[in-house]
Amino acid sequence: MTDVPIQMRQDTTQDTTNERFRGGSPLVDLLSRGGLAIAILAVLVYGSLTSPFFFTTGNFVNVLTSMAIVGIVVVGMTFVLVVGGLADLSVPATIACGAILSLALQPVIGPVPAFAAAIALAGLCGLISGLLIGYVGINPIIATLGVGTIVLGIVQAAVGGVIVYGTNPDTAALVKSRLFGIPVIVLIFLAVAIIGHFVLSRSYWGRWTVATGGNCSAAEASAVPVRAVKAGAFVITAICSGLSGALLGLTLQSARPLVGTGYEFSAITAVVVGGISIMGGFGSVPRAIAGLVFVQLLTNVMVLQGVRTPVQGFVLGLLIAGAVALDVALRKRGGGA
Amino acid sequence: MSAAATALRMRGISKTFPGVKALSSVNLTVEFGRVHAIVGENGAGKSTLMKVLSGTYLPTTGTTEIAGVEVRMRKPADAQRLGIRMVHQELNLVPDLSVAENVYLGRMPRRWGLADKAAMLRETAVILDELGATIDPKARLGDLSISQQQLVEIAKAYAAAPRIIVLDEPTSSLSEHETAALFRILRKMKQQGIAIIYISHRVKEVLEIADDVTILRDGSMIDTRPADGITVAEMIRLMVGREVTNVFPKTPSEIGAPVLKVVALGDSYNFRNVNFEVRKGEILGLTGLVGAGRTELAKAVFGLARATEGRIEVDGKPVVIGSPAAAVRAGIAYVPEDRKDEGIVPSLSVRENISLPVLRKLSRFGRVSMTADRRLADKYTKEFSIMPPDPERRIGLLSGGNQQKAVLSKWLSADPSVLLLDEPTRGVDVGAKAEIHRIIGELVAGGMAVVMISSELPEVLGVCDRVIVMRDGHASAPVDRAALSEEKIMALATGEEAA
């Protein structure tokens, strides 16, 4: 039922608060638009002032390489958050799936088919989560946690709970090689990011994703296949983390079932710090990656400064809380974005 | 309390937000024992004024007197202490509590430090009885109909023994029948000397219940007059600042072959055995009380809800509609009743909203053509004069009427042959309403078949060619407009024979 007064009130307050938001405080405006760029710049300046190693090619290649693996997951996770799917907690399982299968299947079917099969199977896990979330209507947290736990269990049982080692050193060399001085793994990450950005911002599927996250019932009433769109976000994330896991496995030439632990939180942190709303309906891949860059640089600076691990965790935790609080505040001021 | 004492006197009230003057120097005087209506279009300042009165906003300038004493209200609790109670349209009730618990929410009668449930039930029964409502105080609130919940909200305000009650659009979810019941309650409260402030869009209703009328326009007070000496046309003119000659202009159109045919459709719960057909160039009205199954029927035809029996034919061919996408393919479009929840994606721009149902058609290899997308949005923004004329603006920032025009555009972009409109003019102001009617008129003139659900009888009678009245899930046979009157429709809707 459309409530007339709600409508009216929203009309007046939205406009006025928006005026206040835009016209009244250029500082808030600047922070909401360019806050992350400023923060990244600040970390860069601080890092180069305090550590002689920070501003070296070697350090940046390190940062980029460690960013690439989680970055691929971030691209997928962006879709999950934008579609209003909260988070995908099955990432550790799908990464393990990718890492273990890409190594374990090598002797059986060869490196390239193993790589492809690993990603496909991870995608299948995502499809199961997606179907449960989109079509059955199970809460995404519960569904992905459940599917993730089961998949991890199966993977562990399949390899007998031991570490799987690579048998084809050429694949490791390929992943670790460089093109124009840039590690191949970083180039793969950039390619995934560009494709992800294109899909989210330029394709009809991306527009559907944003619309579903913004107002699921309105999207449904606009003939958007919302169930498929929701499910799709989880398939995309699973394929991304499968790829990420496979690359991780090839890089390390060994994979344990718990190889992906923690990646889900790193990815969610990056996306949220990038200013993508946990409520869905808003966000882009470049923003998420900016969040990732900031978090990675900050971590790097903290490591170079010798900040202890618990303190690092504390800082990252504060960062997430701050980003979410800012999202809520901006939503209120912007009139329910 | 003497009947003529002044309950409320607001003088020179202004409220400025940075960049916007929401109220400029408004004066309002409300007497005890009278119903004082405040009317105005969307954005006229009614809500801001009431927020000042309820203590939500502190006015920039101006003074407020309650019963002759100057007061300064900084928060809603101050206003409540002074005996001012608001009945909001969005009900502030807890669905999982009982009626009595809701009525006494936050101020339960206590005995030895514990809630005195017996006293609460007793008092609630007395209050509901006084208001002439037959609601069980022990019933779970969520089990009541919206109109009953609204009565509970009024009972809640009434139980606090207020001096001033403010009702914000109290009838927008009520049928005419229920509105009459509400008016009986208001008259009773009036006799007890309570000052009643009645905010509404519905001009006719206002004239029926109000003793005094204050008209606001663009944040300024236009006039306060006794309701006796004012006509509907005059009031509308004062509200919009111009003469609206015909509130419901009917564009003549040529009626052709049947487009949509619904045969024995039912969902075995909300509606049963519904039969009708809509012809090219025709507007078929679908009316009835809230809860009669109209919206559920429309949703089933559009594939948003499932029908369990019967069939749907488009252009003489049976179609299976399992999803909105299938409905769109069959040429059916649906403009939902609940614009905020189902009509718009507020965070997207007007352009992105308009092209949503046809995105795939605008895409090549999955990529949306921005040129086609922009062209579509520009076309409708111009054609329907959507204000502001900027397709890149976030749709959530537009007024209700302009949002509705954008929602209409969205569906026209899909080029449907049948358009289902669910309360298309609810919550839009008088000017936008006339414009929406004009657009609908042009659409049928162009050969579209329209099914329009509306609770507003003058609208139904003014716009539709034929009308179906629904009652408890059953639909009447279509009746020609010429053979209809408001009384006839009400008789069909309530099942009571017209006297």
Residue A228 maps to a domain = yes
- Closest by CA to B294, choosing from B303, B286, B302, is B286
Query: What is the residue-level pLDDT of chain B in tens, covering all 499 positions?
Result: 444 588 999 999 998 876 567 788 999 999 999 999 998 876 678 878 888 998 888 898 999 999 888 998 888 888 888 999 988 776 778 888 889 888 888 777 777 777 788 888 888 998 888 877 788 888 898 888 777 888 888 888 888 888 999 998 887 777 777 788 889 889 988 998 999 999 887 778 888 899 999 998 878 888 899 988 888 878 877 877 755 545 566 667 778 899 999 999 998 888 989 999 999 999 999 988 767 788 889 999 999 988 899 999 999 899 999 899 999 999 999 998 878 888 899 889 999 999 999 998 899 989 999 999 999 999 999 988 887 888 998 898 887 788 888 999 999 888 899 999 998 887 777 777 888 888 898 889 888 999 999 877 778 888 899 999 888 888 888 888 888 877 777 778 776 554 3
Residue A2 maps to a domain = no
Q: B89: which chain A residues are within 8 Å (Cβ-Cβ)?
A: 3-6
Same domain, B354 and B447: yes
Report the distance separating Cα A101 and Cα A99, nearest Å. 6
Asked whether the beta carbons of residue A14 and residue B396 sit closer than 8 angstroms, the reply is yes
Same domain, B60 and B181: yes
Same domain, B451 and B402: yes
Half-sphere exposure of A157 (CA within 13 A, CB side): 6
Phi, psi for residue A71 in degrees, rounded to 5: -60, -40
State whether residue B327 sits within 8 Å of chain A by CB: yes
Residue B109, C-beta contacts closer than 8 angstroms, at least 6 positions apart: B115, B116, B119, B120, B123
Same domain, B234 and B262: no
Report the distance separating Cα B447 and Cα B419, nearest Å. 11
DSSP result, B299-322: HHHHTSS---EEEEEETTEEE---
Report the distance separating Cα B126 and Cα B330, nearest Å. 55
Helix (H) / strand (E) element for B110: namely strand B110-111
Overall domain count for chain A: 1
Structure tokens at B162: 């207020």
Last residue of a domain, one of B240, B274, B292: B240
Report the distance separating Cα A215 and Cα A221, nearest Å. 10
Report the distance separating Cα B145 and Cα B178, nearest Å. 11
Q: What is the pLDDT of residue B389?
A: 84
B182: domain CATH number is 3.40.50.300
Asked whether the beta carbons of residue B18 and residue A8 sit closer than 8 angstroms, the reply is no
Interface mutation vs chain A, best among B47, B329, B403, B410, most A CBs within 10 Å: B47
Sign of CA dihedral A284, A289, A295, A301: negative
Asked whether the beta carbons of residue A218 and residue B342 sit closer than 8 angstroms, the reply is yes
Q: A223: which chain B residues are within 8 Å (Cβ-Cβ)?
A: 323-325, 327-328, 356-357, 414
Residue B197, C-beta contacts closer than 8 angstroms, at least 6 positions apart: B8, B30, B36, B37, B38, B50, B53, B164, B165, B166, B167
Structure tokens at A50: 């305090």
Q: Per-residue b/e over B176-186, b at no fewer than 16 CB within 10 Å?
A: bebbebbbebb
Q: A222: which chain B residues are within 8 Å (Cβ-Cβ)?
A: 324, 345, 353, 356-357, 410
Phi, psi for residue B468 in degrees, rounded to 5: -110, 135
Residue B323 maps to a domain = yes
Q: A17: which chain B residues are within 8 Å (Cβ-Cβ)?
A: 17
State whether residue B415 sits within 8 Å of chain A by CB: no
Same domain, B297 and B219: no
Residue A265, C-beta contacts closer than 8 angstroms, at least 6 positions apart: none
Predicted interface score ipTM higher than 0.90: no
Same domain, B347 and B422: yes
Same domain, B379 and B416: yes
Interface mutation vs chain B, best among A1, A29, A199, most B CBs within 10 Å: A1
Asked whether the beta carbons of residue A19 and residue B302 sit closer than 8 angstroms, the reply is no
Question: In B160-293, which residue ranges form alpha helices assigned H by DSSP?
Answer: 176-191, 203-209, 232-240
Q: What is the pLDDT of residue A88?
A: 95
Residue A117 maps to a domain = yes
Same domain, B275 and B417: yes
Question: In B355-495, which residue ranges form alpha helices assigned H by DSSP?
Answer: 370-383, 400-412, 430-445, 457-463, 486-494
Helix (H) / strand (E) element for B324: namely helix B324-329
- Closest by CA to B367, choosing from A201, A192, A78, A83, is A201
Query: What is the residue-level pLDDT of chain A in tens, covering all 337 positions?
Result: 333 333 333 333 333 333 333 434 566 666 666 778 888 888 899 888 888 888 888 888 888 988 999 999 999 999 999 999 999 999 999 999 999 999 999 888 988 999 999 999 999 999 999 999 999 999 999 999 999 999 999 988 888 878 888 888 888 888 888 888 889 999 999 999 999 999 999 999 999 999 999 999 999 999 999 999 999 999 999 999 999 999 999 999 999 888 999 999 999 999 998 888 888 888 899 999 999 999 999 889 988 888 888 888 888 888 878 877 877 777 655 443 3
Nearest to A2 among B42, B46, B340 (CB): B340
Residue of B nearest to A21 (CA): B18
Same domain, B194 and B275: no
Report the distance separating Cα B307 and Cα B318, nearest Å. 14
DSSP-derived pairing of the beta strands B449-453 and B466-471 = unpaired
Which three-class secondary structure state does DSSP give residue B6? strand
Nearest to B20 among A19, A210, A217 (CB): A19
Residue of B nearest to A14 (CA): B397
Report the distance separating Cα B164 and Cα B8, nearest Å. 8
Same domain, B234 and B267: no
Report the distance separating Cα A192 and Cα A202, nearest Å. 15
Structure tokens at A107: 């002797």
Interface mutation vs chain A, best among B50, B57, B89, most A CBs within 10 Å: B89
Q: B399: which chain A residues are within 8 Å (Cβ-Cβ)?
A: 11
Three-state secondary structure along chain A? Answer: CCCHHHHHHHHHHHHHHHHHHHHHCHHHHHHHHHHHHHHHHHHHHHHHHHCCCCCCHHHHHHHHHHHHHHHHHHHHHHHHHHCCCCCCCCHHHHHHHHHHHHHHCHHHHCHHHHHHHHHHHHHHHHHHHHHHHHHHCCCHHHHHHHHHHHHHHHHHHHCCCCCEECCCHHHHHHHHCEECCEEHHHHHHHHHHHHHHHHHHHEHHHHHHHHHHHCHHHHHHCCCCHHHHHHHHHHHHHHHHHHHHHHHHHHHCEECCCCCCCHHHHHHHHHHHCCCCCCCCCCCHHHHHHHHHHHHHHHHHHHHCCCCHHHHHHHHHHHHHHHHHHHHHHHHHHCCC
Residue of A nearest to B427 (CA): A4
Residue of A nearest to B218 (CA): A12
Same domain, B58 and B169: yes
Nearest to B43 among A1, A4, A12 (CB): A12
A177: domain CATH number is 1.10.3470
Asked whether the beta carbons of residue A204 and residue B366 sit closer than 8 angstroms, the reply is yes
Residue A178 maps to a domain = yes
Residue B448 maps to a domain = yes
Give the domain extent around A248: 36-330
Q: What share of chain B is helix, strand, coil (3-state, %, to 5)?
A: 35, 25, 40
**Window B:305-324, CB contacts with A under 8 Å:** 323-324
Query: A132 to chain B, minimum CA–CA distance in Å?
Result: 19
Sign of CA dihedral A189, A191, A195, A201: positive
Query: A13 to chain B, minimum CA–CA distance in Å?
Result: 9
Q: How far is CA A305 from CA A64, A294, B210, B233, in A?
A: 19, 16, 74, 76
Query: B392 to chain A, minimum CA–CA distance in Å?
Result: 14
Q: Could you tell me if B206 and B174 are in contact, meaning their C-beta atoms sit under 8 angstroms apart?
A: no
Give the domain extent around B296: 258-494
Residue A22 maps to a domain = no
State whether residue B88 sits within 8 Å of chain A by CB: yes
Report the distance separating Cα A293 and Cα A275, nearest Å. 13
Overall domain count for chain B: 2
State whether residue B331 sits within 8 Å of chain A by CB: no
Residue A15 maps to a domain = no
Residue A114 maps to a domain = yes
Residue of A nearest to B304 (CA): A221
Residue B311 maps to a domain = yes
Asked whether the beta carbons of residue B345 and residue A281 sit closer than 8 angstroms, the reply is yes
State whether residue B400 sits within 8 Å of chain A by CB: yes
DSSP-derived pairing of the beta strands B466-471 and B283-288 = parallel
Report the distance separating Cα A160 and Cα A25, nearest Å. 60
Query: B130 to chain A, minimum CA–CA distance in Å?
Result: 28
Which three-class secondary structure state does DSSP give residue B490? helix
Residue B43 maps to a domain = yes
Q: Could you tell me if B338 and A1 are in contact, meaning their C-beta atoms sit under 8 angstroms apart?
A: yes
Q: CB atoms < 10 A from the CB of B72, how many?
A: 10
* CA B217 and chain centroid, separation: 20
Asked whether the beta carbons of residue B347 and residue A9 sit closer than 8 angstroms, the reply is no
- Closest by CA to A297, choosing from A276, A273, A278, A321, is A273
Q: How far is CA B236 from CA A225, B45, B402, B462, in A?
A: 43, 16, 19, 17
Report the distance separating Cα B392 and Cα A34, nearest Å. 21
Residue A148 maps to a domain = yes
Q: Residue B315: left if φ>0, alpha if ψ -120 to 50, beta else—which one?
A: left
Report the distance separating Cα B15 and Cα B48, nearest Å. 8
Q: B371: which chain A residues are within 8 Å (Cβ-Cβ)?
A: none
Residue B81 maps to a domain = yes
Report the distance separating Cα B72 and Cα A246, nearest Å. 67
Same domain, B396 and B483: yes
Query: B109 to chain A, minimum CA–CA distance in Å?
Result: 32
Asked whether the beta carbons of residue B173 and residue A219 sit closer than 8 angstroms, the reply is no
Q: CB atoms < 10 A from the CB of B392, how many?
A: 10
Asked whether the beta carbons of residue B340 and residue A222 sit closer than 8 angstroms, the reply is no
DSSP result, B151-185: HHHHHHHHHT--SEEEEESTTTT--HHHHHHHHHH
